[in-house]
């Protein structure tokens, strides 16, 4: 069974958010638990992600939204814990006018590829980051890249409900990713 770690952005993804709906529908999906959702503390969030990956019975798939996409980019540089893959939805641009001040410790994004397979999903009208910004991050991270059309910040306010399209993207991507090898690296099989 594939295990998933749900990583909401600031605010914690309430009950109407697709992350919460997926988590409620699938016992293999568990949320990481930082001390505060509303005032994200960078060091605390790094520690909470590390703890969640340690607790996973096998290398997990990370399912991140918004600020947690940036968290993953930082965490994977300082941790050697194996991860199978990551879905990164609604990657925010720290230079956007609406990026919150409390998120600035997450902003200095490390350069280079992620050490596991990843899929960046963006919309055409995300107020937190343009499709061009998300595509640049995807290229830098070595991620697959998908634009889903006008879906805002891909959050509860976007009215996505269970976001079946996202779940299909996740499941399709995970089915193509091999389990990590001994050094924690997972690769996407050629199609």
Q: What does the alpha-carbon distance between residue 31 and residue 48 come to, in Å, rounded to a whole number?
A: 10
Does 185 fall in a domain? no
130 in any annotated domain: yes
53-91 pLDDT, tens digit per residue, is 999 999 999 999 999 999 999 999 999 999 999 999 999
In a domain, 183, yes or no: no
Above 70 in pLDDT, residue 191?
no
What CATH code is carried by the domain that includes residue 66? 3.40.50.1820
Q: How many CB atoms lie within 10 A of CB 146?
A: 18
- Residue 191 located in a structural domain: no
pLDDT at 186 over 60: no
pTM: 0.93
CA angle, residues 105, 111, 116, in degrees to nearest 5: 100
pLDDT digits (tens, 9 = 90+) for 91-104: 999 999 999 999 99
Closest among 144, 146, 16, 120 to 63, alpha carbons compared: 120
Could you tell me the residue range of the domain that residue 41 belongs to? Answer: 4-176
**Number of independent structural domains in the chain:** 1
In whole numbers, what is the pLDDT of the chain averaged over residues?
A: 93
Task: Give the C-alpha separation, 97 to 105, whole Å.
Answer: 16
3-state DSSP assignment of residue 136: helix
């Amino acid at each position: 069974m594939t295990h998933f770690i749900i990583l909401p952005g600031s605010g914690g993804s309430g009950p109407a958010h697709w992350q919460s709906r997926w988590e409620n529908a699938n016992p293999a999906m568990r949320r990481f638990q930082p001390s505060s959702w509303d005032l994200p503390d960078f060091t605390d969030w790094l520690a909470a992600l590390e703890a969640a990956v340690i607790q996973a019975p096998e290398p997990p798939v990370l399912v991140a939204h918004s600020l947690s996409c940036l968290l993953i980019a930082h965490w994977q540089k300082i941790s050697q814990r194996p991860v199978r893959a990551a879905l990164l939805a609604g990657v925010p641009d720290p230079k956007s006018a609406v990026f919150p001040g409390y998120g600035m410790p997450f902003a200095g994004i490390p350069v280079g590829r992620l050490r596991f397979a990843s899929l960046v999903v963006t919309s055409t009208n995300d107020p937190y980051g343009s499709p061009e910004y998300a595509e640049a991050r995807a290229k830098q991270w070595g991620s697959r890249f998908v634009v889903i059309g006008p879906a805002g910040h891909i959050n509860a306010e976007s009215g996505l409900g269970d976001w079946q399209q996202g779940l299909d993207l996740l499941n399709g991507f995970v089915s193509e990713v091999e389990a990590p090898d001994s050094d924690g690296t997972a690769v996407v099989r050629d199609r």
